[in-house]
Amino acid sequence: MGATVSQDDNDSDCHTHQSPINIWTKMALYDPFLKPLKIQYDPTTSRKIVNLGHCFNVEFDDTSDMSVLSDGPLNSRYRLRQFHFHWGSSDKDGSEHVIDGNVYPAELHIVYWNSQKYESFEEAAKHPDGLAVIGVLLKIGEANPVLQTIIEHLDDVKTKGKEHSFTKYNLARLLPNDLDYWTYHGSLTTEPYFECVTWIVLQRAIPISSAQLTRFRGLLCTSEYEKPVPIMENHRPVQLLHDRVVRSSRL
Ligand SMILES: CC[C@H](CNC(=O)c1ccc(S(N)(=O)=O)cc1)c1ccc2[nH]ccc2c1
Ligand SMILES: [Zn+2]
């Protein structure tokens, strides 16, 4: 008697909570128990900007709970570690999350880890409730002065491995006023794709000018000793939803 393989066996593989996804807004479930996001941000926690080769990070001092995210869909306090962007080789694509089939030209990820339950970011990343990432879609519009302060420093971190001090950054000014969000359980969108992320995708996009976005593509994925290769794109394709439901904070 051969083993029968049913549909759910196919979903029993251990990679069914991958990110990013296409969010069908009409299928999102309004959850009245979702709280507003509570974002406490201390500008003195910003430390440096780093070129990692596939993207650049703005990194924060996460040795104590100074800049934290709580409430929203979360049951713990999460500590700010870094933020970074994903972009495409043209303004036609670049975001990781897709909304009703619409791709945006870029996406900001603000990465937090559960400092209430775990001792370190690396430890938290091994658990389903280890990380929380706020995803903010970027749309082409007027130049964004808050992004400009980051873009001015990209020349200091042009090649892979370069870093430059980056202090007193006002991350709060980067966020839209409207913090309504969609939330679902997913993964890191780069290797090792751990399924450890509570995703919180804001429903309001923020502007970036086409000229500013072009500056992202000027970053190099090569070190200063190699032949220069620009980071033209670094966004992962959308993944299957499987058994997940996306919840919305707004009816
Ligand atoms: C656990 C992964 C981590 C490196 N990766 C990340 O920090 C990261 C963070 C956010 C996202 S996204 N685009 O989803 O927001 C993708 C990746 C990481 C950190 C320390 C490590 N030591 C050994 C391995 C190792 C891996
Ligand atoms: Zn990311």
Quick one: pLDDT band at residue 13, thresholds 50, 70, 90?
confident
Residue 251: strand, helix, or coil: coil
pLDDT at 1: 46
pLDDT at 12: 65
Supply the pTM of this predicted model: 0.95
Percent of all residues in the chain with a pLDDT value above 70, rounded to a whole number? 95
Average pLDDT, integer, range 103-112: 98
Distance CA 181, CA 73 (A): 10
Q: What is the rounded average pLDDT for all residues in the chain?
A: 95
Average pLDDT, integer, range 225-239: 95
The tens digit of pLDDT for each residue in 179-205 reads 999 999 999 999 999 999 999 999 999
For residue 73, give the nearest of 184, 172, 175, 179 by alpha carbon: 184
For the CA of 190, the nearest atom of ligand 1: 16
- Using a 10 angstrom Cβ sphere, with 0-12 exposed, 13-18 middle and 19 or more buried, the burial of residue 33 is exposed
Q: Is it the case that residue 9 has pLDDT exceeding 60?
A: no
> Is 220's C-beta closer than 6 angstroms to any atom of ligand 1?
no
Q: Is it the case that residue 4 has pLDDT exceeding 90?
A: no
Residue to mutate, 112, 127, 188, ligand 1, most ligand atoms under 8 Å from C-beta? 188
> 223 CA distance to ligand 1 centroid (A)?
21
> Is 125's C-beta closer than 6 angstroms to any atom of ligand 1?
yes
Least confident of 6-15, 70-79, 129-138, 202-211: 6-15
CA 187 to chain centre: 10
> Is 131's C-beta closer than 6 angstroms to any atom of ligand 1?
no
